[in-house]
Amino acid sequence: MMKIIAISNEKGGVAKTTSTLSLGAALTEMNQKILLIDLDAQANLTLALGFEPGESEMTSSHVLLDNAPLLDARRTTDMELLDLVPSNSRIESSEQFLPVRNNYTTILRNAILNSDAMEYDYILLDCPPALGAITRNALTAADLLIIPTQAEYFSAYALRNMMTLIRKIREEDNPALAYRILVTMLDRRNRTHRNIHEQLRSTFGEGVFQCVIEIDTKLRESPIAGLPITRYKPSARGSTQYRVLAQELVEYAKETENRQTA
């Protein structure tokens, strides 16, 4: 059963795009077919896979703004089992034009459901660092929201707004939306990091992934090479940790599916 995963945080610089790409690549190593959808005007996910944002005739903005079929915007990547719907700066106008439409929060969900996207095991949505119309579309479409969060004060504080949005989405558009917090860029030598990490686990319990992503310079280098960390440096710590995350996500998806069919 296809799962739709949104990766979002209002706070920038929390390894959101890195996590989207690295998790997607790690899932392909488990023989899962993955579609990544770049919904950010900065198009960092598109760039990280070696595509120039301005060169794509069709992007995610055409899906949201022009009702273009989702898979018409799909691009194949150099990685087997990994496809991409790219983005560019045009998608930024979605924040202005989408809210004037009726039922605008369901545009992306309908685009996915009305396509042949069921061929994919997972669709990963890379959201912009804002809680506007684009992110609302992503959360309305998603089965699960992953919130990458640094173990730092401002990043943890930003979770308040994310939780408010989750409640709003559940009430208005997607009552089944679940979430998991992913602690990223963790420095275990840093006492503040350790304390905030413990506080997050104490506050959110099972809402926090067991896997954490620690600081790894190879994670910063891999986008420059146009490759996910698992392909750029397969033996790096970041590669191993994203593989562990992929395994945890697959187990979570199986448990959820079993509960739904029970």
Q: What is the DSSP letter of 180?
A: E
pLDDT reported for residue 224: 82
Mean pLDDT of the chain: 94
pLDDT reported for residue 205: 94
Check if the beta carbon of residue 40 is closer than 8 Å to that of residue 128: yes
What the block records as the tokens of 107 is 């545009």
pLDDT over 80 at 2, yes or no? yes
Domain ranges of the chain: 3-261
The residue behind tokens 């983005």 is: 87
**SS3 label, residue 42:** coil
Burial label, 55 (beta-carbon count in 10 A; 0-12, 13-18, 19+) = exposed
pLDDT digits (tens, 9 = 90+) for 209-242: 999 999 999 988 888 888 899 999 999 999 999 9
pLDDT reported for residue 262: 66
What the block records as the tokens of 124 is 């990963």
The amino acid occupying position 239 is S
pLDDT digits (tens, 9 = 90+) for 121-166: 999 999 999 999 999 999 999 999 999 999 888 888 889 999 999 9
What's the CATH number of domain 3-261, 3.90.550.10, 2.40.10.10, 3.40.50.720, 3.40.50.300?
3.40.50.300
Q: Average pLDDT in the 178-189 region?
A: 95
pLDDT over 90 at 199, yes or no? yes
pLDDT over 80 at 261, yes or no? no
pLDDT digits (tens, 9 = 90+) for 67-118: 999 999 999 999 999 999 999 999 999 999 999 999 999 999 999 999 988 8
Strand runs labelled E in the chain: 3-7, 34-38, 75-76, 82-85, 122-126, 144-150, 178-184
pLDDT over 70 at 248, yes or no? yes
Check if the beta carbon of residue 59 is closer than 8 Å to that of residue 91: yes
What the block records as the tokens of 190 is 């840093």
Cα dihedral 166→171→173→177 (10° resolution): 40
- Number of DSSP helices (H) and strands (E) in the chain, helices first: 12, 7
pLDDT digits (tens, 9 = 90+) for 36-65: 999 999 999 999 999 998 888 899 999 999
Burial label, 80 (beta-carbon count in 10 A; 0-12, 13-18, 19+) = exposed
pLDDT reported for residue 212: 96
Taking the model in full, what pTM does it have?
Answer: 0.96
